[in-house]
Amino acid sequence: MRDDAEVYLVWSSEYQGWWRPHGWGWSASLDDAAHLDRNEALRICRNATAKVVHVGRLAKIPVRLADVQDFLAGQV
């Protein structure tokens, strides 16, 4: 397993959930989120950008797992 600092998740502001492994939908649970490398997370997010640019928000957002863990632990 990669170091958590190198693991990325993808959040969907459109579906209010985390990208699941193999692109199998979205989950509200962090435990179900796909663990991706940075390039894959950016690819997924870039592919979604054109879909909601007309509503003025990002459809998908890459997030480092370590940042989410720090936030949840109150370390930020």
| Residue 2 pLDDT greater than 60, yes or no | no
How far is residue 57's CA from residue 72's CA, in Å, rounded to a whole number? 24
Looking at the DSSP assignment, which residues form a beta bridge with residue 69?
Answer: none
pLDDT the model gives residue 33: 97
> What is the residue extent of each domain of the chain?
4-72
pTM, two decimals, is: 0.82
For the record, the structure tokens of 23 come out as 């692109």
| Residue 20 pLDDT greater than 90, yes or no | yes
pLDDT digits (tens, 9 = 90+) for 34-73: 999 999 999 998 887 666 555 567 788 999 999 999 999 9
